[in-house]
Structure 1
Amino acid sequence: MAAVISGRFRIIELLGTGGSASVFLADDAQSRQRVALKILHPHLTGRAAARAFFLEEAARASRLQHPHSARVLDVGEDLDRPEPVVWIALEVVAGATVAEHIRATGPLMPSVAARLLMPVLEALDAAHSVGLVHRDVSPTNVMVARDNEGQLDPDSVRLLDFGIAGDAGETAVGADALLASHDEGRVGVLGNASYMSPEQARGDAVDARGDIYQAGALLYFALVGQAPFRREEPAQVARAHLEAPPPVPSVQRPGVPRALDRIVVKAMLKDPDDRFADARTMRDALVDAISGNPSPSGVEPSHPNAAMAPTAVPPLSQVRAEGLHALSGELDVTRVLGTTVTPSRAPASSAASPFHAVRRGRRPAGIVMIGTISAAVALGVAVSLAASPSASITADPTASPTSPAATPSPTPSAESTGVDDRPHVPDVSQTQLAEASARIVDAGLVVGTVSTVDSRWPEGTVLGTSPASGERAAFGSSVAVTVASGYNAVPSVTAMDVQLALSMITEAGFSTASVPTSTLGSGVIGTDPSGGSRWAVGSTVTVFEPAPALSPTPSPSPTPEPASSPTPTRTPTPPVVP
C-alpha cells in the first residue's frame, strides 16, 4: 500500500487491526491534522457488500455528534490504484481502551468506575435521542486517557465503533458482510458474546434498553475486572445471559458499595421493562451512588412484589444465535454469532423420541437444533446452543400432564438392571459435521455444543468430541463436537533456516511461496502474512528469503619471482711466467 491514500492521507503508524479493517495514524494534508484512518482489509474491498457495510458504518456514526463519542471526519475510496482502498477518517482518540487499562492495572476503584461510566451514558443518551442504538457497548469500545497526575480522566472518555449500530427497534440479526469468506455474508446475530443483552441474543427487536444492559455489564467489568458471566464455553456465556440471575459485583469483589451492586443488577435484568428507563436515569443513579446514597434513584422495584418475583426467562429454544465465534478467553470481540438455521420438521412419529425437533419461537427463522442436524448446518458454525431433550415444549413448563399416558416412564439405569446398555460415543474424528451428526444421532445421542478451534485441518473437519469416542453416555444425552474453523496461526519463522521454515508453514496447513530478497542474512527475512496472523488454511504464505551469501573471491596468490643467482666472480688467470 502506498504511503499516501487519496492524495491526502500519509500513513504514520498502525494503531490497531480487527476482523474487517485496520486503523492507522495518518496526517491529513487537506485538514492539516492527524486522523485515525480506518481502512477496509484488501481482501474485502473487492466485495460490494463489504464495501457498502463498511461505508454504512460511517453514515451511522456521523449521525451522532457528542463530546464523548468519536467523530467521523470523512469517508471515501481511493480508486486510483490497482487495489482500491476504502477508508473512514475518524477523530484521533487519546488513551487506551477500558479493557486495556484494567488488564494492565486491575479493577477500578468503585468511584472511578462510576465516574467513567457516566460520560458513556451521556453519549448513549445523545445517540438514543436521534434514534440510534449502539448495541456494542463493551470495554473494548470505550477509550480513556490519563490526566497529568496519572489518573483516568472522565473528560477524555470516548465511545467508539458504531459498526453494528442500528435504529431503535431493529433486530440484531444481520449479514456478516465483513467477516464472511464466501457469498454475500452469513445471516446471524450480531454482537459481543460477553456483553450481549438477552433480547439481542434471541434476535428480537433491540431498543435503548439493550444499551442499558450492556452499560451495566461494562460497569461490572470495571468493578470486578472480568466479564459478567465467566464460563468455560461460549454457549454457556450465552445461556447465562438468557437464564442466570444478574451478577452482583461485590460477590467477586467484596467492598463494592451496595448502591453499585443495585445499579448493575437493575441494568442487567432480563426483562427490558425492568431496567432503567433510559441512559439519563442510570447516570442519575450513579451520581446518587457516588454521593453515598445506598438507594440510588431509579433502582426502586417497578412494582411492589418485583423484588420477590422470579425473572421471566424465555425458553432456550428461542435463542437465535446458532453459533458464537470464540476468538479469545475473554470473548470480548464483536462478531456475527453464527448462521441461523431452519430445522427440518420432525415426522409425527418422532413425538416419543428423544430426537424430536424443538418448536419454533416467535420468529420463523429457527435457531436451536435438537436431534438430527441436517447438512444445512454446514461449515462455519461456531457454537450450537442446544436445549435439553424433552417430550415437548409448551407455554407453561410447569403444567401437569393431561393424562397418565403422557407421563414418561423412567429410563432404567445401569444400576437398576445390572447391565450398562448406554450407547458408546462413535468415533467421528476427521469427518465433516453433517456426517458426524448423523452418526451421533444413529448411536442414540444428540449433538450438543459445536465449537470451532483453529487448526491445520480444513474448515468443518471434526477434531474430537466430549465425551470422547468409545466412552458411554446416557441415551439421548448430548455430545459436544469440536470442528476445525478453517483458520490457523501463521508460524513465526523469522531468522529460521529457510527449509525448516517452509516445512513448519506447510505443517500448519498453508501453501508456501518463496521470494528472494536483496537483504543479507542467514535465515528467513519475514513472511506475508506475518507470524501469528490468523490465516485461512490452504492459503499461501509468502516467505522472504535472504540474498544468497556471496562467496568471497580468493585473492590471487602472488607468483614468486625466482631468486636471482649471484653472478660468479671471475677467477683471475695467473700470469704466465716465462
Structure 2
Amino acid sequence: MSEQKRLIANRYELGNLIGRGGMADVYEGIDTRLSRTVAIKLLKSDLANDPSFEDRFRQEAQASARMAHPTIVRVYDAGEDIELDSRGNQVKHPFIVMEYVRGKLLRDILHERRLSIEEAVNYASGVLTALEFSHKAGVIHRDIKSANIMITENDQVKVMDFGIARAISDSSATMANTVGIMGTAQYFSPEQAKGENVDARTDLYSTGVLLYEMLAGRAPFKGESAVSIAYQHVSEAPDAPSTHNNLITAELDQVVLHALAKDRNDRYPSAEEFRDHLIA
C-alpha cells in the first residue's frame, strides 16, 4: 500500500502532506467511517520511540480535546497505530485526528501583505477569545505565533497546535526543565526566555507580540540568533508600533505596550480584559 493510501487505525486514510512541525507531520486525510475530510498529525518516525516526545504528543491530544470552541481547531480522535517492520517488530505511530480547516496560515498572509488596522485588531481579538476559553479550562497554549493561527476562507480565526500546552495545575515545571526551550524566540515572553514558570499571562505577552507584528509589519525585536532575540525580550523596551506605521493611534500603541510589559504583573490579567481594551 502506498503512503497516500495508508490506513491509520483501520479508519483514517492518509492523503497529501500539508504541513511539517518540529515533532510531527500533518496530512490531509479521510475518515472512512464518517466520510469526511480531516487533518491527521503523525509523530515523526525518528521520535516515535522517544518517551519524552511521545508524552508531549499525548499531552497535545488531551489538551486540545478539551478545547471545544469555534476559535480553536477541534480534535476528533487520537491514539497509536501499530505496524510491523521488516523484522516483525512493532512500530508505534501516535496520531491525532483534527478538524480540517480551509484557509491560510496567518504567517503566510503576513508574508504576502500588510494587514489593515481593522484586520489586525479582529485577528488578535479572535486569538484572545480562544485564549479566554482555554485559560478558563486550565490550559496555557505556550506557543502563540502566526504559524499556529489559521485564518479561514470566511476570515475567522482558528488557533491550533496546543502541542506544548500544559494544564495550569501542572505549571510548576519550568521551561528550563523541558527538552530544549519550546516555542519561537520571536514570540517568547520574558519568563520563557529566562526559563521561569509560565502562566496565562505568558500567552497574553505572545499575543501582544503577534498584534505588534500585524500592526507594524515586523516583530518588536529582531536579532541574528534566538539568544539575542530572547535577551531583548528580557531587557530591551520595544519601540511603539506607530514608529513603523503612522496609522496606529496612541491608544492602540498603549494597548500593545501594556501587553508587552516585562513583568507579567504589569500586563493585562486576563485575555478577556486584553480583548476589551483592544476593541474599545
User: What is the TM-score normalised by the length of structure 2?
Assistant: 0.91
Counterpart code for 1:196? F
Cα deviation, residue 30, structure 1? 2.0
- Pair 1:204–1:47, CA change in 2 (3 A): closer
Counterpart code for 1:23? V
Counterpart code for 1:234? A
Structure 2 equivalent of residue 257 of structure 1: 249
Cα deviation, residue 22, structure 1? 0.7
Structure 1 equivalent of residue 163 of structure 2: 163
Work out which of the residue numbers 70, 73, 83 in structure 2 matches 1:67: 70
| Structure with the bigger percentage of helix | 2
In our comparison, the structure showing a higher alpha carbon Rg is 1
Structure 2 equivalent of residue 141 of structure 1: 148
- Pair 1:77–1:213, CA change in 2 (3 A): same
Cα deviation, residue 115, structure 1? 0.8
Work out which of the residue numbers 218, 223, 239 in structure 2 matches 1:226: 218
Structure 2 equivalent of residue 239 of structure 1: 231
Cα deviation, residue 91, structure 1? 0.8
Cα deviation, residue 112, structure 1? 1.2
Deviation per CA, 1:520-560, whole angstroms, max 9, x where unpaired? Answer: xxxxxxxxxxxxxxxxxxxxxxxxxxxxxxxxxxxxxxxxx
Aligned residue for 1:79, secondary structure, equals: strand
Contact 2:217 2:244 in 1 (8 A): no
Contact 1:173 1:189 in 2 (8 A): yes
Between stretches 166-175 and 30-39, larger displacement belongs to 166-175
Is the aligned partner of 1:88 residue 2:90?
Answer: no
Counterpart code for 1:280? E
Structure 1 equivalent of residue 29 of structure 2: 26
Contact 2:59 2:165 in 1 (8 A): no
Cα deviation, residue 235, structure 1? 2.1
Is the aligned partner of 1:38 residue 2:46?
Answer: no
Counterpart code for 1:114? V
Deviation per CA, 1:132-188, whole angstroms, max 9, x where unpaired? Answer: 1111111111110244xxxxx2xx210111111123343223432xxxxxxxxxxx3
Contact 1:173 1:190 in 2 (8 A): no
Cα deviation, residue 125, structure 1? 0.5
Contact 2:221 2:238 in 1 (8 A): no
Deviation per CA, 1:440-481, whole angstroms, max 9, x where unpaired? Answer: xxxxxxxxxxxxxxxxxxxxxxxxxxxxxxxxxxxxxxxxxx
Work out which of the residue numbers 8, 11, 16 in structure 2 matches 1:8: 11
Deviation per CA, 1:503-531, whole angstroms, max 9, x where unpaired? Answer: xxxxxxxxxxxxxxxxxxxxxxxxxxxxx
Between the aligned partners of 1:55 and 1:79, the Cα distance in structure 2 is 16
RMSD: 1.5
Aligned residue for 2:30, secondary structure, equals: strand
Between the aligned partners of 2:138 and 2:200, the Cα distance in structure 1 is 9
Structure 2 equivalent of residue 438 of structure 1: none
Instruction: Give unmatched runs, 5+ long, in structure 1.
Output: 148-152, 177-187, 289-578
Cα deviation, residue 49, structure 1? 3.0
Aligned residue for 1:42, secondary structure, equals: coil
User: What is the TM-score normalised by the length of structure 1?
Assistant: 0.45
Between the aligned partners of 1:142 and 1:241, the Cα distance in structure 2 is 22
Between the aligned partners of 2:278 and 2:225, the Cα distance in structure 1 is 33
Identity across the alignment (%): 35
Counterpart code for 1:244? E
Between the aligned partners of 1:67 and 1:280, the Cα distance in structure 2 is 16
Cα deviation, residue 256, structure 1? 1.4
Aligned residue for 2:84, secondary structure, equals: coil
Structure 1 equivalent of residue 57 of structure 2: 54
Instruction: Give unmatched runs, 5+ long, in structure 2.
Output: 86-90
Between the aligned partners of 1:175 and 1:274, the Cα distance in structure 2 is 27
Between the aligned partners of 1:175 and 1:282, the Cα distance in structure 2 is 29
Between the aligned partners of 1:247 and 1:45, the Cα distance in structure 2 is 43
